Amino acid sequence: MHEFMLNIDNKEILNEILHHSVDYLIGTLTKDVSLLDKFSHKYGFANPEEFESAIKIIANAYRLYCQEKLTDTELLGHFSHMSQDLQQSVVDVVTARKPEIMAFLVREHDSRDGRLLESFDWDIRFIMGNSSLASYRSQVATLVLNCIETDGQRRTIHFEVTQPQLENMIKELESCQQKLSAMKATENKNQEEAAKA
């Protein structure tokens, strides 16, 4: 742990640093040098690299804790130099932000095998005639898929579908949802049986 972190005794500052560490882990804290410089001066670090290194260490500990590779005791072992009150802050922050961290870890894991759909948007347009037939009427949906690539980069995919294509896509997605729900139910049942044994 960095020397500054060894000497910290202010709960508010520690909480802010811990929250910045979670933001760094889940990717909401940009690695903008000017922002890191601002935070390093605000919290008394010697330079932005030292601040980034400190939040990386904390973020990694939180990652391992949420992956159940660290116990509560092992997590607090990283902060053994702090008072019990400050150590409780370490646990409180990870407990409060655990849903966000877990959602990030699931997205990260799922995106390793291929492109991952993060969100989508759509709109509907009516086509009133074309170059060969003035009375032609058609409804077209434009879908925008916001994806995360395997390398973590975000990519937007735009495409148009007709109503029959959209209906087929919805049926396929509903089928996938049913299969995933069945898999989840089986997994939960297996976990319950294992817990009873």
The tens place of each residue's pLDDT in the chain, 197 residues long, gives: 555 565 678 899 999 999 999 999 998 887 777 888 898 888 888 888 888 998 999 999 999 999 999 998 999 888 888 889 999 999 999 999 999 999 888 878 777 777 778 788 988 888 777 777 777 777 888 999 888 777 767 889 999 998 889 899 889 989 988 988 888 888 888 878 887 87
Is the same domain home to 161 and 129? yes
Is the same domain home to 118 and 176? yes
Q: How far apart are CA 78 and CA 91, in angstroms?
A: 12
Look at residue 91 in the predicted model and tell me its pLDDT: 93
* Boundary (domain end) residue, out of 79, 111, 143: 111
Look at residue 119 in the predicted model and tell me its pLDDT: 85
Computed on alpha carbons and rounded to an integer, the radius of gyration of the chain in Å comes to 24
Domain count, the chain: 2
Phi, psi of 98 (to 5 degrees): -60, -40
Is the same domain home to 123 and 105? no
Phi, psi of 9 (to 5 degrees): -140, 10
Is the same domain home to 24 and 99? yes
Amino acid occupying residue 61: A
Is the same domain home to 107 and 28? yes
Q: Which domain holds residue 33?
A: 3-111
Is the same domain home to 143 and 53? no
Look at residue 4 in the predicted model and tell me its pLDDT: 52
Is the same domain home to 18 and 69? yes
Give me the sheet containing 154-162, strands edge to edge: 116-128, 137-148, 154-162
Is the same domain home to 107 and 149? no
CA atoms lying within 13 Å on the CB side of residue 163: 6
pTM for the whole structure:
0.64
**How buried is residue 51: exposed, middle or buried, by Cβ count under 10 Å (0-12/13-18/19+)?**
buried
Look at residue 97 in the predicted model and tell me its pLDDT: 94
Look at residue 132 in the predicted model and tell me its pLDDT: 75
12: left (phi over 0), alpha (psi -120 to 50) or beta: alpha
Is the same domain home to 32 and 103? yes
Look at residue 173 in the predicted model and tell me its pLDDT: 86
Strands (E), 26-179: 116-128, 137-148, 154-162
Is the same domain home to 177 and 85? no
